[in-house]
Structure 1
């Protein structure tokens, strides 16, 4: 699986701050997994995005993204859901049995962050996998 160096820099707003994350051409799985053990939201988000965008490991990306959707923070949940779209784009597949209910719940969330990230995931999944968006309603 090729690295996706087109994601060199991308910004995401987190609690009023801009968090920058990079897709490094020197991806290190141990460093990414270490970030997932942090207490800082920005580290957690960077760790998950690093795995999803750089590892090429579909199963690990799905596992960690699903784990994120079970957390308390709307930013963490939103990141996990948004990563479903990245996974669909990069791997040209997604486990609909695992993500449909999560995304559907996200679309109905009172959190603008979670609802917005869910809409983004639906857009990516339906576009890259040629699916009907009504699946998530």
Structure 2
């Protein structure tokens, strides 16, 4: 397995992916935005919103995105995000990703 940089997307691509109903596409676009958009606050709020998505795959990507935001940008609203991630620890589909994201926030965010 080798690392591949996530593709670059525009915010409008996320809206289109959500309308398509394709969870894999939503995840690809979301992670691409996390790596390339640069607006940590918008990304954080977007991930928070997607933590309530019907598809477990999308919830997991949103949780994973939070860890990436903390690691890459060093900024995150700890109280809000930690509360949301604690809730995600109770979801069997997102529990492991939530643990990892909480650790990343603890290590990398100010």
Measured in 1, the distance between the counterparts of 2:20 and 2:41 equals 22
Matched length: 108
Given the superposition, is the C-alpha separation of residues 71 and 32 from structure 1 closer, same or farther in structure 2, using an over 3 Å criterion?
A: closer
**Residue matched to 1:127:** 107
The higher-RCO structure (CA 8 Å, 6+ apart) is 2
- CA distance in 2 between counterparts of 1:74 and 1:28 reads 22
If the length of structure 1 is used for normalisation, what is the TM-score? 0.69
Superposition RMSD on alpha carbons, in Å? 2.1
Judging by fraction of residues, say which structure has more strand.
1
**Unmatched runs of 5 consecutive residues or more in structure 1:** 1-7, 10-21, 131-137
Following superposition, which runs of at least 4 residues in structure 1 exceed 2 angstroms of deviation?
A: 30-38
More helix by percentage? 2
Q: Which consecutive residues of structure 2, in runs of 5 or more, have no partner in the other structure?
A: none
Superposition TM-score, scaled by structure 2 size: 0.84
